[in-house]
Amino acid sequence: MTSEQLEAFLTLAQEGRFVSAARRLGVSQSGLSRQLQALERELGTRLLVRTPRGVVLTEAGQHYLVHAQRALDSLRRGASEVQEVAQTARGSVALGTLPTVGAYLLPDLIVRFHKKHPEVVMRLREGKAEELEEQVAKGELDLAVLALPVRRVDLVVQKLWTEDFVLAVPRGHKLAQSKGPVPLRAVLGEPLVVVPNVAATRALEAMAEAAGEPLRVVLTTDNPEGMRRMVERGLGLSLMPSLMARERGPRGFEVVEVAEGGVKRQVALLHRGESYLSAAARVLKNTLSEVLPTYFVSRSKSAS
């Protein structure tokens, strides 16, 4: 028994003729007849009989009419509720992000998002770009904010912003006295605090290899915020995204720009495609793509 069969029976009962009922439903008369016959076989009895003046309900048909209408109304209400749920931002959304973005850009955005969409529960996961990309591809994350390039061609990429990397040096360091940007090779011989296997560290390693001199790494850490704290304590220098150096309040280190040809990163929003996103994930995607680029610029201006 299908909703099409119920609708065929009800429309015939209302119209009283196969011609007008078929026209109303947008089907052929033979197709309408097949739907009615299938319903009658399911019920094991005749519901309608044809007469020269049209169709007439049998006694069984008269009894079944009320139930058929209730059933079809219930199915329609259910479909309407499902569509409403599908279009309403509720449920959980898994968002992956680079640690620097998670620490410096997302807190304010997530607080505002939660106030506007209180029925959405966000699950935030931080990691490196390669890890986040794979988690999106596997469906473990709905969305991810990460640094390009993306290796998989089956994922949707939306660019958000591009930023420079800067040198963070302890207060009073000689490089902070420079009147302008310094070349990246100025860090050779200086103590460095790095996060392994990220764009900044790979750039430092490539520069050192080209110069034929080793880097003087005094500490490696997986935590960018920990790296920043070590610079503040005077342990060494660090090459970090400018996002980490843009604060409204005082910093515990000094920022030195890198000369032309320095390191940049392009940050993008990644997902598997619109059809894979729930209503909540779509709303979050739109919020991230609209707010993050402008928020990044505003933070940059306020810091400068």
CATH topology agreement for domains 91-160+268-303 and 163-264:
yes
CATH 1.10.10.10 fits 3-87, yes or no: yes
Mean pLDDT of the chain: 88
CATH architecture of 91-160+268-303: 3-Layer(aba) Sandwich (3.40)
Q: What is the reported pLDDT for 210? A: 93
pLDDT tens digit sequence for 174-213? 999 988 899 999 999 999 999 998 889 999 999 999 999 9
Residue 163 near residue 267 (C-beta atoms within 8 A):
yes
pLDDT tens digit sequence for 110-160? 999 999 888 888 899 999 899 999 999 999 999 999 999 999 999 999 999
What ranges do the domains of the chain cover?
Answer: 3-87, 91-160+268-303, 163-264
Q: What is the reported pLDDT for 243? A: 87
CA dihedral for 246, 249, 252, 257, sign (positive or negative): positive
**Confidence bin at 91 (pLDDT 50/70/90):** confident
> Class of 163-264 per CATH?
alpha beta
In our burial notation (b when 16+ CB lie closer than 10 A, e otherwise), range 196-224 reads eebbbbebbeebbeeeeeebebeeebeeb
Q: What is the reported pLDDT for 268? A: 96
